[in-house]
């Protein structure tokens, strides 16, 4: 009971008071307790249940530990509608990019990099007068770098299907 005394009286409630406060049945409160609703004091013969109304409200209408999706169905619907609107707004103002757009941009950039690498041996030959044997070494190294770039990009980019929206 010591912990129960730390909670202001207006927030302390037994199971029946919790049911009345939240407009649910006593069996619903029992179900909440079985599913992890916070309890300050467990009831038993001669000892009343004590629950903190704020803690119960945070548990019932608050967020899961794994994420921020509300528990109650009507709250979840509102949450996901708001999330959809948030995503649409972020796409509209350009702070959110669809994965397909990002993949296309990565492909454009990778193509630009490989084109520059392909031009390097010719530029080195013109500017430095490198010998053909030296240029072959450079070309092999460029090929090796291109293969490494391809492997790294393949690890990052999933080629699976995505939503177009």
Give residue-wise pLDDT tens across range 43-91: 999 999 999 999 998 888 765 444 556 666 666 677 777 778 888 888 8
Beta-carbon contacts of 94 under 8 Å, excluding residues fewer than 6 positions away, are none
Computed over every residue of the chain, the mean pLDDT equals 82
Q: Give the CATH class of 2-61.
A: mainly alpha
pLDDT surpasses 60 at 19 = yes
Beta-carbon contacts of 87 under 8 Å, excluding residues fewer than 6 positions away, are 96
Q: Which is more confident, 64 or 146?
A: 146
Mean pLDDT of 95-99: 84
- Of 34-43, 59-68, 97-106, 153-162, where does the model show the most confidence? 34-43
| Domain spans, the chain | 2-61, 68-96, 99-156
């Amino acid at each position: 009971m010591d912990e129960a005394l730390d909670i202001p009286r207006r927030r302390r409630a037994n199971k029946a008071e919790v049911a009345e406060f939240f407009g649910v049945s006593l069996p619903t409160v029992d179900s909440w307790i079985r599913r992890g609703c916070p309890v300050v004091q467990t009831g038993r013969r001669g000892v009343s249940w004590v629950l903190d109304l704020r803690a119960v409200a945070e548990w019932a209408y608050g967020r899961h530990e794994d994420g921020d999706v509300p528990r109650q169905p009507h709250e979840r619907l509102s949450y996901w509608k708001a999330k959809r609107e948030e995503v649409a707004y972020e796409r509209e103002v350009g702070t959110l990019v669809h994965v397909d757009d990002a993949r296309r941009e990565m492909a454009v950039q990778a193509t630009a990099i490989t084109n520059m690498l392909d031009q390097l041996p010719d530029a080195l030959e013109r500017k430095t007068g490198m010998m053909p044997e030296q240029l072959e070494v450079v070309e092999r190294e460029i090929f090796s770098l291109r293969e490494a770039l391809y492997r790294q990009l393949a690890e990052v980019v999933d080629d699976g299907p995505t939503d177009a929206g």
